[in-house]
Structure formats: C-alpha cells, structure tokens
Amino acid sequence: MVKPWPPGAALSTVETTLQPRPEQVAAGRRFVRDVVTAWDQAGLADTASLLASEILTNAVRHARRPIALRLRLMPDEIITEVTDDYARPPRRLLPALEDEEGRGLTLVEALAHSWGTLPAGAGKIVWFTLMTATAPQPRWRNVSSGTD
C-alpha cells in the first residue's frame, strides 16, 4: 500500500538519526515514546514504540549507513517512518513456535492501522500508522535530533 503524505499536511514532524547498531533500537524506542507522549497520545506510546522497535531491529540488521526515524503527527493519525539504505523490502515470516525471531511484521500488521514500504534512493522507507483517539497537540514542531 502506498501512503500519500500531502506536503504541509503534518501538524508536526520530528526526526532523529540512529546508527545501525543493536543498542540504537532502544534509543529509537525511547524517542518514539517521548514524542508520542509529548503529542498527548500517551495511550499509543506502548504500541508505537513496540512497532518502531520491530522495524528498527530489521533496519539495524541490514543497514550500513545511518537510519532515519521520523514521526509525523497528522490530524487523525501518527505516521512512523524508518528509512535505511537496504533496498530489499521486509517480508513476513512464519516462525515455528520455538523461534525467537520472525514475528515483527506480524505484530506490525496486527497492531498498525496501515503499513507499507516505499523506495527511497538506494534504500527504502518502512512506515506504519496509528489512529489517534483525541485531537493531537503538536508540542514538538519539525525537530531534528541526532543520536549516536
């Protein structure tokens, strides 16, 4: 599914850059939780940080360059995007019961309102949306932050 984002439609856009190292997944999870909570959407913070963590884990495994994590506050949803330099789109696996990996996209598919991938230069964007329950309050506007 291609998700169109009209220019200027976001109430707020916040972005950080993460290095392709496993410990950066936790940093991304905290970033998502903090932003979603600051937007008065604390009820979505757990789900948003879980789903971002699943997508970031895949990006960290495959990316060779910094990973962009962007959140867009729209009038009725939050869009989370993870951009990396690995062009191959993620694929859902059917893990065995004893497998410890392979459930990330199943979680994204089950919990997100919508999700998909888009080509981005030599890489891709994996995105998902969560519907907001109340009118968003954009306390953070167009912020960019780097995390090493």
Which of 3.40.50.10860, 3.30.300.30, 3.40.1380.20, 3.30.565.10 is the CATH number of 12-146?
A: 3.30.565.10
What confidence tens digit (pLDDT) does each residue in 72-84 have? 999 899 999 999 9
Cα(90)–Cα(81) distance, integer angstroms: 14
Half-sphere exposure of 64 (CA within 13 A, CB side): 5
Q: Which helix (H) or strand (E) is 31 found in, with range?
A: helix 23-38
CA 29/CA 56 separation, integer angstroms: 9
Q: Predicted confidence band at 106 (pLDDT cuts at 50, 70, 90)?
A: confident
Domain ranges, ordered by start, for the chain: 12-146
On the question of pLDDT at 141 being above 90, the answer is no
Closest CA to 63 of 120, 15, 21, 105: 21
Q: How confident is the model over 54-66, as a mean pLDDT?
A: 94
The band of 27, judged by pLDDT with boundaries at 50, 70 and 90, is: very high
What is the DSSP secondary structure assignment for residue 65, as one 8-state letter?
Answer: S
User: pTM score, two decimals?
Assistant: 0.82
